[in-house]
Copies of this chain bind each other. A is one copy, B any other.
Amino acid sequence: MKKIGIVGGTGYTGVELMRLLARHGGVEVVAITSRGEAGMPVDILYPNLRGALSLRFSTPDDADLTACDLVFFATPNGVAMQQAPALLAQGVKVVDLAADYRIRDLDVWSKWYGMTHASPEWVGRAAYGLPELYRDEIRSAQLVANPGCHVTAATLGLLPLMGQEWIDHGQLVVDSKSGTSGAGRKAEVPMLMAEAGESFRVYAAEGHRHQPEILQTLVAVSERPVGLTFLPHLVPMVRGIESSIYIPLRDEPPVDVQALFEDYYADEPFVDVMPPGSYPETRSVRGNNLCRVAIYRPLGGSMLVVSSVIDNLVKGAAGQAVQNMNLMLGFPEDQGLDLIGLAP
């Protein structure tokens, strides 16, 4: 059994990691830290874990994270960049679910996250944790930057098209919608049910941190400049992200786009290209690690549209982190992740 630690486990990505790891079979969570809740059994804070995980939150000082094979940082942005290097120096592997190591360009990172990076030397050494693109790097990485939630849905919906000469890379639109758990377990008025319930709205319309993160990958893959408008919305539900992606066509595609997607993802365990005419529902991936996509060409016009759905806490966070862990520790990639979405 590999030994696993979780730093900052009181949030939603933390509990989701525990839900998945408790049934993984090849790992044991030996430490989960929280300054605020130190001493409290995790199943008091999260009763859904009762009977599945017997563990208490501990302070970072009390937890011997260096004895772990791998440590997840489920912390706010800016924590892993401070604390991960000491673990990495001792040979511990790290998956950061926050944004500290996602952006290669330190200036861009500082602009969006409002901090100077505390461990810039590790930024270039981190693998970007999108297995569909960087599986080999992840396998051999000591540090993995787990992608953002909107980012995962949008990027997987766009990857097969990147670099195709017949699309217009300059005017892409990602209209993305997220359930409220994406905002985390923070006591904030706008995320109250009385505020977010039975209503729908945009947020961060002037610019959102996930835009440069998506862009970084699209540019890397297409090897050309990319223009991307990204607009997030808040959906009155708990879990789920749907990204509707608009790709203007420069020319008639010389290939069958449906087949292009199916071929591209043929061997991927966690990307499901749905049949033509499907409407991916966020509930169909609730609780599991799948990204489901469907491709449309409305009225046969000059715009290609992709709808991509994930569970923001699974493929958009903890599930993808476990997928990365499996790669890093040599487990089968889908171990502990073969769950079926709840419907209804």
Contact = CB atoms under 8 A, between A and B. Distances in A.
A46 interface: yes
A328 to B, nearest CB: 23
Interface string A172-195: 010101011101011111011111
A163 to B, nearest CB: 21
Interface string A293-322: 010111101110101010001000000000
A227 B203 CA distance: 27
A274 interface: yes
Interface string A306-344: 010100010000000000000000000000001111111
A174 to B, nearest CB: 10
Interface string A228-272: 011101011111101010101000000000000000000000001
Contacts of A195: 185, 193, 344
B205 A193 contact: no
Interface string A31-53: 00000000000000011111110
A129 interface: no
Interface stretch (A1-9, A99-107, A279-287): A279-287
Contacts of A211: 298-299
A236 B233 contact: no
Interface string A196-226: 1111111101110001000000000000000
B189 A189 contact: no
Contacts of A51: 272, 290
Interface stretch (A15-23, A57-65, A138-146): A15-23
B244 A171 contact: no
Contacts of A285: 48
Contact of A194 (B47, B191, B339): B191
A195 B342 CA distance: 11
A344 B194 contact: yes
28 contacts: A47-B343, A51-B290, A180-B192, A181-B344, A183-B194, A185-B344, A187-B187, A187-B189, A192-B192, A197-B198, A197-B238, A198-B239, A199-B286, A201-B282, A201-B307, A205-B298, A205-B307, A206-B277, A206-B296, A206-B297, A227-B301, A229-B303, A230-B298, A236-B237, A238-B344, A239-B344, A287-B342, A339-B339
